[in-house]
């Protein structure tokens, strides 16, 4: 499971600055996921971010630099994407991805526990 420790630290540090979030790290999706309030919010996979956001934002996010669609079983998964480093190097861009993930997290359904 290879992922950028530096990027994971950057995400962890940013999330920890926000009050009233219950943050848990979990190895999944070939990387390190950050579960916020028991729901997958954002993931670090290799050198990329994997973001979970409201599917209604698909057109908007697909136009951003660094966007890569998330493909599973040959189909694009709406509401999920990968973002290459060029898409979050600037702090404003990094904040954009964190914000849309956290915004969706408030209304997202949590996975069923086994």
Q: How high is the pLDDT of residue 114?
A: 52
CB 30 within 8 A of CB 45: yes
Tell me the pTM. Answer: 0.92
Residue 65: name the closest of 87, 85, 93 by CA: 87
Q: 18-69, pLDDT tens digit by residue? A: 999 999 999 987 899 999 999 999 999 999 999 999 999 999 999 999 999 9
Q: For the chain, where are the alpha helices, taking DSSP H only?
A: 5-16, 58-62, 91-105
- Read off the tokens for 37: 């309030």
Residue 23, judged by CB atoms within 10 A of its CB (0-12, 13-18, 19+), counts as: middle
Q: How high is the pLDDT of residue 110?
A: 80
Query: Which structural domains are found in the chain, ordered by start?
Result: 5-107 (3.90.1150.30)
- Average pLDDT score over residue span 8-24: 96
């Amino acid at each position: 499971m290879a992922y950028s420790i530096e990027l994971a630290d950057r995400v962890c540090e940013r999330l920890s600055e926000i009050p009233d979030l219950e943050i848990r790290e979990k190895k999944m999706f070939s990387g390190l996921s950050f579960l916020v309030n028991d729901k997958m919010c954002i993931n670090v996979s290799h050198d990329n971010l994997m973001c979970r956001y409201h599917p209604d934002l698909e057109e908007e996010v697909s136009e951003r630099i660094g966007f890569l669609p998330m493909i599973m079983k040959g189909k694009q998964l709406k509401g999920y994407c990968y973002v290459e480093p060029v898409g979050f190097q600037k702090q404003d861009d990094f904040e954009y991805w964190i914000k849309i993930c956290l915004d969706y997290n408030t209304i997202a359904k949590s996975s069923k526990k086994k």
